[in-house]
Amino acid sequence: MADIQLERVRKMFGKVLAVADVSLHIKEGEFMVLLGPSGCGKTTLLRCLAGLERVDGGQVIIGGDDVTDHPPGKRGIGMVFQSYAVFPHMTVFDNIAFGLQMQRVSSAEIQRRVGEGAELLQIQQLLARYPAQLSGGQRQRVAVARAIVMRPRVLLMDEPLSNLDALLRLQMRGELKRLHHEVRSTTVYVTHDQVEALSLGDRIAVMKDGTIVQLDIPDRVYDLPATRFVGSFIGSPPMNFLEGTIRSSNGARALETAGVRLEFHGVPARGRDAVLIGIRPEHIAVERVPVAGGIPAGAIPAAVVVVEPIGPQKLLTVQVGPSTLKVTTPVDFAVDQGQRVWLRFDPSRIRLMDPQTGDAIAS
């Protein structure tokens, strides 16, 4: 087990900057998720860490050792690939034992450690089989076992669940979390699935265009997105964004949108007047009448465009002026397409962004 220090790591593919001087410190035993859309550089960053890509600049330090120029096999890493990369010409046992044999571990020790790894992944009964005789989920377990029997200082996973079907993915996600609690190895996990990131990560590094745009614990990444991109990438449905203005009257500054003055206490004391209001669907209350508890203030009129029952909730698509918002309501909320409703934003959940840069405005 070891910590990881990435220092201004840069990787170019021809003229394309895939990883742009990324610095990141991953603590010992931490589960770090690299999250981002395809092409954001997260897999490339992981491969630089693994030594499968040669960096064009910067340093990779694992457990205090500068491994920047070390080949993958000399870095003390274990890696799980998206395609599993289980060797088809070897039995499950030989697959798991492969790395140990490369290290010339004694055969008694190999027997013991392969048995241990197989037990941890619950594949003891498959050891004599060939990969062609296994299901996708079982191959995935073999790939994970093969990596962890090496007792790597760092465990790297590249979208390990994305080739599994939805149900199996849910199950394996739980398994990986259990495994991390048992093994406690430093883990770097690449995914484009925000649910995986939120459920597995101790911390999440959200990436875009080869840089980390936000690095934080899952709750904060979800509740306090650093940029408009993070808010719209994480959450299903994602965060809503609509234009707002800050108006001064009688010396007090207040937030308005669609001509409605919102109840909001975090208005910055100075700065621009035009802002972007970010609010998650579950933090918008929907009402059929404009007046709640006799106070009409802060209710925004909206037209219902689409009504989608999605099991535990109803998902409404509503139109507020030029903006389209997604909001959720209880299933028993009776509403029809075309109906007029009133929206009330939870004041403590409103997040203001700069409309030009998309960066969050500190409040």
- What are the residues binding another protein (CB under 8 A)? 50-52, 71-73, 77-79, 81, 83, 85-89, 98-99, 102-103, 130, 132, 143, 146-147, 150, 156
Output the smallest distance, CB 191 to another protein, in A: 17
In SS3 terms, the chain reads as: CCCEEEEEEEEEECCEEEEEEEEEEECCCCEEEEECCCCCCHHHHHHHHHCCCCCCEEEEEECCEECCCCCHHHCCEEEECCCCCCCCCCCHHHHHHHHHHHCCCCHHHHHHHHHHHHHHCCCHHHCCCCHHHCCHHHHHHHHHHHHHCCCCCEEEEECCCCCCCHHHHHHHHHHHHHHHHHHCCEEEEEECCHHHHHHHCCEEEEEECCEEEEEECHHHHHHCCCEHHHHHHCCCCCCEEEEEEEEEECCEEEEEECCEECCCCCCCCCCCCEEEEEECHHHEEEECCCCECCECCCCEEEEEEEEEECCCEEEEEEEECCEEEEEEEECCCCCCCCCEEEEEECHHHCEEECCCCCEECCC
CB nearer to another protein: give 72 or 347. Answer: 72
CB nearer to another protein: give 132 or 289. Answer: 132
CB nearer to another protein: give 91 or 324. Answer: 91
Instruction: Please answer whether residues 118 and 124 qualify as being in contact, where contact means their C-beta atoms are separated by less than 8 angstroms.
Output: yes
CB nearer to another protein: give 142 or 279. Answer: 142
Output the smallest distance, CB 52 to another protein, in A: 5
Output the smallest distance, CB 100 to another protein, in A: 9
CB nearer to another protein: give 73 or 271. Answer: 73
CB nearer to another protein: give 73 or 321. Answer: 73
Output the smallest distance, CB 203 to another protein, in A: 24
Output the smallest distance, CB 21 to another protein, in A: 25
CB nearer to another protein: give 191 or 227. Answer: 191
Output the smallest distance, CB 147 to another protein, in A: 8
Output the smallest distance, CB 117 to another protein, in A: 13
Contacts of 16 (CB under 8 A, 6+ apart): none
CB nearer to another protein: give 71 or 330. Answer: 71
Output the smallest distance, CB 142 to another protein, in A: 11
Output the smallest distance, CB 89 to another protein, in A: 5
Q: What is the layout of strands, in order, in the sheet containing 351-353?
A: 260-261, 252-257, 240-249, 274-279, 351-353
